[in-house]
Chains A and B, each alone.
Chain A
Amino acid sequence: MKLITRYNRVNLLTTVVVMLITGIIYYQAISLILISQLEKDLVVEENEIFDYVSLNHQLPQVFKSNDQQITFTEAEPGSVKREFINTVYRNNDNVKYAKRHHHHHDDDDEFETGRGLITSVTVGNKYYKVLVVVSTVEAEDLIKIIFGITAGVILLLFVTLYVTNRLLLNRLWQPFYDLLKELRLFNITDNKDIPLEKTNIDEFEELNQAIIGMSTRVKSDYKELKTFTENASHELLTPIAVINSKMDTLIQTDTFTQKQSKLLNDLYSAVSKLTRLNQSLLLLVKIENRLLESNEHINLKQHIEELLIQFEEIFLDKGLKVTTDLLEKEVVASTYLIDILLNNLLGNAIRHNRVGGEIRIKLTDELLTIRNTGATGALERNEIFTRFHKSSESEGSGLGLTISRQICENLNFTLNYSYQAPYHTFTVNF
């Protein structure tokens, strides 16, 4: 769930609840005020009746109006308890009323809600129950209007909040999204810093600073690691060189038995493997540091053809059938790196091939594909490009494809693997 959705949900829900509660309280308060106003009117009327009775010793003339009705009924003395009631009464002045409130029924027997006061009066020796009723319709109309306005305000507030939240939050969070985008693009091997826009929100500024600090630290750690790899490999070169030269010297010394020469051969192989591994590590560091870049115009077709000639004997030896479909293609890159890339890819196609297998090379303006038959089924697509990942029977350093992919990355090419029986395919997209 997006932050803004979550925020809006909570925010709006709270607003609605608070508004509803406010509305109810408001409604109750206004009702109370209006009713008490009506009751005051009723008491005034009651007093008028009392005054009239004490003055005239008879019941007052009753006028029926649309707002107010007074009825007198005889009753047992003392049977009437004074109280206010909610009641319904028949409105006789309905024509006038209907004109004002045309949504009401306009038949003669219309009932309206009213507030009544039951009281009693004694005229002479007769005891009367007095019912004074006033219409509450006006008051209710007022309440309705007030309530409508309130509801309108709530709705308006609701919409306003929603829209402003949306706009404001989107804008407020913009630095965050920018940062996120930059973080996604973050590449540890890249020498560029994360470009961060200045923001005047403290939290984001802090976040930016923290990210910058973190990336700098990570990069410097990584750089240190690379420097270490480079130095270690460098330091190893000299002893390897000594071993190599000592062995070359050793085999000049005397005659050797079968067993001794077998041992020496194994030593040679191991040293040579060590050398290659070491050189691959150094190479990888250099490629990652972009130390080997240069802009030469390279005729790829020509390069591949030359390489194929170089491998000719090996093709023959393994009985590999090589088919090519090469179009002219020029790339601007370092010859050294392109050679390594082609060497690695073609080398793999040979090394992991089976005797009597097939290699197909295709070069177009957009891509270079090298397909080969192989001893195994599909390879693990995600793992083959990682360092030191290799099949158990492989004699390689386990760095070839890592180097190849790094070279492609540096040149803004992409290197991908796919398998379609029986072909393993490596594709370089230019």
Chain B
Amino acid sequence: MKILIIEDEKGLRESIEEYFTEAGNICETASNYPEAMAKVNIYSYDCILLDITLPGGSGIEILKYLKKNNNSDGVLIISAKNSLDDRLEGLDLGADDYLVKPFHLSELRARVTAIIRRKTFNGSNQLIFNEINIDLLAKTAKVNDQSVKLTRKEYALLLYFIANKGKVVSKNAIAEHLWGDGMDLANNFDFIYSHIKNLRKKLIEAGSNDYIQAAYGMGYKFTS
């Protein structure tokens, strides 16, 4: 997939770039408004990560420009502004998603993957990863055509892992993904562990490979 990262903060831009760069992915970056406009004018991307506050202009203007020109690139707004109005404005203008800083890279990755999936599969709602087949509409999973009964959380976890395959995902990131704001409740991650344990068990029992690995007590890795 081809991704454009429009973000003025160097540290963040580089981290995102590094996280997304892997075989089969192309990442380009822009650090200000003119640079970003130049790139979106020339190239086409699967997904554009768009910061709202940019030197030289507003990300909202870029979004407006894209939509005016019927650009089909997926757009994910990454903004420090967590206000409902900004969020609604962005989504109303045609952004596909809105992520508030600070975020975990794995969360960003999961959102970008979802956007691209929606764009490219065009109505098809199957996500296939080796022997695992996920029906995104019915929210069910099958391993080798054998259906696996997953809870809502386990299903979300599986999608999250697949989007971040090959990466170590921290327990914090998982917890925030699954529970959102309610997450400050759990200082111990025991119940994350039990969700992961159950998911792993169910997949293996259905005949899948053992993809989920614990990573040095910090998180988990979905190996491919």
Contacts and interface: CB of A to CB of B under 8 A. Distances in A.
Nearest to B108: A245
Interface stretch (B57-65, B139-147, B176-184, B199-207): B176-184
Interface stretch (B32-40, B111-119, B167-175): B167-175
Contact of B184 (A265, A316, A336, A347): A347
B9 A286 contact: no
Contacts of A316: 191
A125 interface: no
Contact of A272 (B81, B105, B172): B172
Contacts of B9: 238, 241-242
Contacts of B106: 248
B19 to A, nearest CB: 6
Nearest to A334: B84
Contacts of A269: 172, 187
B219 A245 contact: no
Contacts of A272: 172, 176, 183-184
A252 B20 CA distance: 12
Contacts of A260: 216
B72 interface: no
A196 to B, nearest CB: 34
A313 interface: yes
A244 B153 contact: no
A310 B182 contact: yes
B11 interface: yes
B15 A245 contact: yes
A292 B85 CA distance: 8
Which has the most chain A C-beta neighbours within 10 Å: B15, B106, B167, B195?
Answer: B15
B19 A255 contact: no
A395 B184 contact: yes
A343 interface: yes
A265 B103 CA distance: 16
B217 interface: yes
Interface residues of A, number: 55
A237 B167 contact: no
A246 interface: yes
A313 B187 contact: no
B185 A351 contact: yes
Contacts of A258: 216-217
B182 A343 contact: yes
Contacts of B84: 292, 294, 334, 336
B83 interface: yes
A234 interface: yes
A241 B218 CA distance: 19
B12 interface: yes
B82 interface: yes
Contacts of A411: none
Interface in A304-351: 310-311, 313-314, 316-317, 334, 336, 339-340, 343, 347, 350-351
Interface of B is mostly: helix
B24 interface: no
B101 interface: yes
Interface in A253-304: 255-258, 260-262, 264-265, 268-269, 271-273, 275-276, 279, 282-283, 286, 291-292, 294
Contacts of A317: 186, 190-191, 194
A396 interface: yes
B185 A347 contact: yes
Nearest to B18: A249
Nearest to A283: B82
A343 B176 CA distance: 14
B80 A252 contact: no
B123 to A, nearest CB: 29
A350 B19 CA distance: 36
Contacts of A397: 184
A340 B181 contact: yes
B102 interface: yes
A244 B80 CA distance: 14
Contacts of A396: 184
A314 B185 contact: yes
A358 to B, nearest CB: 17
Given A248-B19, A261-B216, A294-B84, 14 more contacts: A238-B101, A241-B9, A245-B12, A251-B168, A251-B218, A261-B218, A268-B218, A271-B102, A282-B82, A286-B83, A310-B182, A313-B153, A339-B181, A351-B185
Interface of A: 234, 237-238, 240-249, 251-252, 255-258, 260-262, 264-265, 268-269, 271-273, 275-276, 279, 282-283, 286, 291-292, 294, 310-311, 313-314, 316-317, 334, 336, 339-340, 343, 347, 350-351, 395-397
21 contacts: A237-B102, A238-B80, A242-B12, A248-B105, A251-B219, A252-B167, A256-B218, A257-B216, A258-B216, A268-B172, A272-B176, A272-B184, A275-B102, A283-B82, A291-B83, A313-B153, A313-B195, A314-B186, A317-B186, A340-B181, A395-B184
